[in-house]
Structure 1
Amino acid sequence: MMDSNDSHALLSGEHLIYAITIPLSTSIILANLVIIMGIAWNRQLHNTPNYFFLSLLVADLCTGVALPFIPLMGLNRELSFSSCLVAHIFPNFLFLAFLLNLVMVHYERYICIVDPLHYNNLWMHRSFPLALLVVWTPPLLYASLPAFGWNNWTGPDWNGCCASTTLLSNCSENRTTCCSYRRVFPNAFIYLEVYGLVLPAILTIAGMTGRVLWITRGQLKDICRLHRSVERGSQASDQEQRLNLRYTRCVVAVSLTFLACWVPYLIYMHVCIGFLISDTRGNSTTHIVLSCAGIGSMAVVPLVLGLVNRQYTEPAYKLVQKLRDRWRTQGSEEVAV
């Protein structure tokens, strides 16, 4: 059994994780439900592009549910072999599925802008079930590799597991009680996931977004040039200034979204790799805060994409407006009485 100091350290870490992730997880779940209901209620949105986005929202909803459990991977806990595998594999699968869904949605919209003539002939549109298999099955297969033997559960030396910030007094006596991410995920597995899957996916999303902004800037210049030729003037008109201002706001919004949503996760990811290379856990509080902020900020990306679309949020807005009008009507009737 753990001694009192070890138990207190574990409980304090868990309390900190729940204090940070529960409000964030609740917000992510509710926001996703609002957008999902907006798509479900509006029949005009029942098309393939929105089905891809709906798949992303479902993955983001699942990530919001699993959000409190992801930072718990950094704590050593007393779990059996099967429970330890589930506690690590399932959240990792949801995270990878969310990331691949995000890449698919960006790719679908990227092709719509870059090559609109061949947009409707995309393989994703011709075979939507196959596209769903592509974004959900590979993450499940890769995340399940530790369950098929690629793990460190029978490693010869677990002093690192027992001597970290959260100590287990009986770790050396009964290894099955020490559940650590180091026992489930070998170093090669972590390196492959970070630098072979996660980082390329993030760079791909950033590259497609930058390419779309560059194309949009070129189209804006063509519109302004055409407008000047029609107006036969050399000065920028009010309409051109509004277009330039709108484009500038778009660039600023995309940049701020990247800084707020992706940079915290990139910092967290490289800090974790640094701890892994140096074979130390560092400060547990810092690690917990970074993990919660990194995973949580990335899960906000689909919500930003959905909430800026009025078609997705219009049903919720109308519902709130009806409730507000009903509340005002009841209030006026009570005052009249």
Structure 2
Amino acid sequence: MEPNRSFSSSSSSSSSSSSSGALLSGEQLIYAITIPLSTTIILANLLIILGIVWNRQLHNTPNYFFLSLLVADLCTGVALPFIPWMGLNRQLSFSSCLVAHVFPNFLFLAFLLNLVMVHYERYTCIASPLHYSRLWVHRRFPVALLVVWAPPLLYAALPAFGWNNWSAPNWDHCCPAGVESGTETETRAAPCAANATSSLCCSYRRVFPNAFIYLEVYGLVLPAILAIAGMTGRVLWITRGQLRDICRLHRSLERGGAQVSDREQRLNLRYTRCVVAVSLTFLACWVPYIIYMHVCVAFLLSETRWSSTTHIVLSCTGIGSMAVVPLVLGLANRQYTEPAGAILRKLWDRWRTRRPPPPQQHTEEIAL
């Protein structure tokens, strides 16, 4: 019996060391991917926000909506390094586990709803420009701002009010694999499996029930993405019709001239570039997140454990690519890039003026 006991202890120690090594490599992978991406998102959002705040000509309702989106995107960039941890099992208390899962989920939902509101505001401005000033979005901006921030907070906080699986009877998947009887590994993992109210096992399955995840994915996130895609496609269709009307007007005013054909070619080329840019933005920013979302739901349905590396890469790629959408919208508009460029030039000039002068000894030697 003694050799078997020594073998079980050695195997348990090797399994615990391998699990700690895997956790360490997963932590390094999370920080290696999220820190550069999060820093870029935070700095770019801060630059555009300062440009809007300092330029009084941009203080109007559409830019206020975009400013709210930039603030939500900034918060998402701050929470980005913590989002991949939501899919990994950790040793946290009940309150810490709720905060670690509820707060990033709230920021993500607020960001998504702000993005829908910005697209809706621009869509109404283009689709019905004569009635735009009489819409509730334009006249009651505080109410619209409350709509895009309060419902995400209320929905994300539902697990804190009792809609969770913290007292579920079976949480064997939260415990380390390869637990042997009578070993140190079983002693460490015993509260995770035996005591359902233990504070050691923190998993998204304990915080978010399956119904909560399905409702969020197929009732909130996917309809929001489809609404954004539909409004964008509708705006491009309206723009195409206006382009045809402009070309017809030029043809009626100047019959059969070479300049008219050149103008039409430039307008068509500009519209084609716009369509290509919108399509590439959707493919690069939304498709990775849609893939990540459906992969998560597929693994949730199959009740299988997946590699932490796969989860880290998919979550960082999906959330990070989606957080780039407001930056693309801001950098594609000159009214935002020009104030941001002016701020960068001022900072550059101040840095150049504060540089230390050359040493006096060297200049005196030259004079002698």
TM-score under structure 1 normalisation?
A: 0.93
User: What residue in structure 2 maps to residue 250 of structure 1?
Assistant: 274
Residues 164 and 280 in structure 1, CA contact (< 8 A), matched pair in contact too:
no
CA shift digits 1:182-208 (9 cap, x unpaired): 000000000000000000000000000
Matches within 5 A, 1:72-221: 72-162=85-175, 169-170=189-190, 171-174=192-195, 175-221=198-244
Q: Name the Cα RMSD after superposition.
A: 2.4
Moved over 6 A (4+): 326-331
Residues 51 and 340 in structure 2, CA contact (< 8 A), matched pair in contact too:
yes
Structure 2, unpaired ranges of 5+ = 1-12, 179-184, 364-368
Could you tell me how far 1:11 is from its partner in structure 2?
2.4
SS of residue paired to 1:132: helix
Which of 55, 64, 87 is the matching residue for 2:68? 55
Residues 164 and 281 in structure 1, CA contact (< 8 A), matched pair in contact too:
no
> 1:96 and 1:328 mapped to 2: Cα distance?
42
User: What residue in structure 2 maps to residue 71 of structure 1?
Assistant: 84
Asked whether 1:274 is paired with 2:287, we answer no
Code of the aligned partner of 2:58:
L
User: What residue in structure 1 maps to residue 344 of structure 2?
Assistant: 320
Q: How many residues align?
A: 335
CA shift digits 1:274-312 (9 cap, x unpaired): 110111132221111010000000000001111112222
Residues 161 and 182 in structure 1, CA contact (< 8 A), matched pair in contact too:
no
Matches within 5 A, 1:10-25: 10-25=23-38
User: What residue in structure 1 maps to residue 16 of structure 2?
Assistant: 3
TM-score under structure 2 normalisation?
A: 0.86
Residues 25 and 68 in structure 1, CA contact (< 8 A), matched pair in contact too:
yes
Sort the Cα spacing of 1:121 and 1:190 in 2 relative to 1 into closer, same or farther, 3 A. Answer: same
> 1:115 and 1:164 mapped to 2: Cα distance?
60
Sort the Cα spacing of 1:244 and 1:329 in 2 relative to 1 into closer, same or farther, 3 A. Answer: same
Asked whether 1:289 is paired with 2:313, we answer yes
SS of residue paired to 2:199: helix
Structure 1, unpaired ranges of 5+ = none
Residues 152 and 184 in structure 1, CA contact (< 8 A), matched pair in contact too:
yes
SS of residue paired to 2:193: coil
User: Radius of gyration: which is bigger?
Assistant: 2
> 2:39 and 2:171 mapped to 1: Cα distance?
36
Q: Percent identity?
A: 79
User: What residue in structure 1 maps to residue 286 of structure 2?
Assistant: 262
Residues 92 and 199 in structure 2, CA contact (< 8 A), matched pair in contact too:
yes
CA shift digits 1:20-62 (9 cap, x unpaired): 1011001000000000000001000001110011000000000
Code of the aligned partner of 2:227:
T
CA shift digits 1:212-251 (9 cap, x unpaired): 0011001101111111111112876111111000000000
